[in-house]
Structure 1
Amino acid sequence: MTLDRFVVVPAAYVFLLRPGTAGTEVLLQRRGDVPFMAGHWGAGAAGHVERGETAFDAATREAVEEIGVTDVDLTFLTSMQRTAGGEPIDERVDFFFTARAWSGEPRIMESAKATDLGWFPLSALPEPTVPHEAMVLGLLARDAVPPYLTFGF
């Protein structure tokens, strides 16, 4: 029996959270002219885990690179195994973190990759939001995030 093996692409996501008048707010960025989900709203900071890097370290690095914040007090939220329409060559494992404390004022650091940055109530996400991230944020709004999720299977 021959097994088709695939390469798993790991990514780390950071959802900065703060109290708001309509409940907890999350910082989202609108993706610019990028290959994946251009024009969609997604995590304030996110990106691939580099070789030799932990997901935690990648989340910390992405927060600095994408929104200019340091000392991010990360809390692991969940992991997600994800595929695009069952295509075995596009298997992903995403690690989601939240943070309620950090240093610095979030701002767009990579203007070629992001066109806007804003705070939104978890109960009223902007449209369009990256679908797999919207799933996690919806569960977070209900305080019902399990430790492991799947998407696209």
Structure 2
Amino acid sequence: MSGRFVVVPAAYVFLLREGAAGTEVLLQLRRHTGYMDDHWAAAAAGHVERGETAFDAAAREAVEEIDVHDVDLAFVTAMQRTRHADPIDERIDFFFTARSWRGEPRIMEPAKCAELRWCPLVDLPDPVVPHELVVLRSLSGPPLPAYSTFGF
């Protein structure tokens, strides 16, 4: 291997619905993953597999992690992020929202997820995974451009 910069692609899905306090997002409380445990995060997210599009990965993760199908995905941003040579953060993250799907979201990986919760976008729990918080804030405020960065 030549020491070239390696980028790990991931796809994230924020399910949205209208609630009493306005738009709500479904978040999961991460547990026993080894990364950002005890932080709130997208209810469904994961790596893009070889030969898979980010769009297909987002739909697959929604089924695998929260048992929802036919997710009507809307692209939000592609975020390139780093923590200056920390390999875990040499990433390109593709963020999607969905306002319709089939099925009732439920925890499918209880070893990695302690809780699912609908949260008002204007009153998010603490702490939220930092780069995901940037995207969540853009859903109720100034939108992010199609390409965004974090950590540079």
TM-score normalised by L of structure 2: 0.95
Structure 1 counterpart of 2:33: 34
Give 1:23 deviation, angstroms: 1.1
For residues 122 and 102 of structure 1, the distance between their equivalents in structure 2, rounded to whole angstroms, comes to 19
Aligned pair count reads 150
Counterpart in 1 of 2:6? Answer: 7
User: Which of 87, 93, 103 is the equivalent residue of 2:85?
Assistant: 87
Q: Aligned equivalents of 1:55 and 1:65: distance in 2? A: 15
Percent of residue pairs bearing the same amino acid type = 67
- Deviation larger for 137-146 or 31-40: 137-146
1:43 equivalent to 2:42? Answer: yes
User: Any idea what SS the aligned residue of 1:127 has?
Assistant: coil
Task: Give the letter for the 1:23 counterpart.
Answer: G
Q: 1:6: Cα distance to partner?
A: 1.1
The SS at the match of 2:148 is strand
Q: Give the CA RMSD over aligned residues.
A: 1.3
TM-fit CA distance, 1:40:
0.4
- Structure 1: unaligned runs, 5 residues or longer: none
Check the 8 A contact 1:6/1:88 in 2, yes or no: no
Structure 1 segments of 4+ aligned residues over 6 angstroms from their partners: none
2:122 matched residue in structure 1: 123
Query: 2:65 & 2:8 partners in 1: Cα distance?
Result: 20
Cα separation, 2, equivalents of 1:119 and 1:95: 21
Q: What CA distance in whole angstroms lies between the structure 2 residues aligned with 1:96 and 1:69?
A: 17
Q: Provide the rounded CA distance (Å) in 2 between the counterparts of 1:46 and 1:28.
A: 11
Distance in 2 (alpha carbons) for counterparts of 1:23 and 1:17:
10
Q: Secondary structure at the match of 1:12?
A: strand
State the TM-score, normalized to the length of structure 1.
0.94
Q: Which residue of 2 aligns with 1:22?
A: 21
Shift of 1:145: 2.1
Tell me how far 1:143 sits from its aligned partner: 4.4
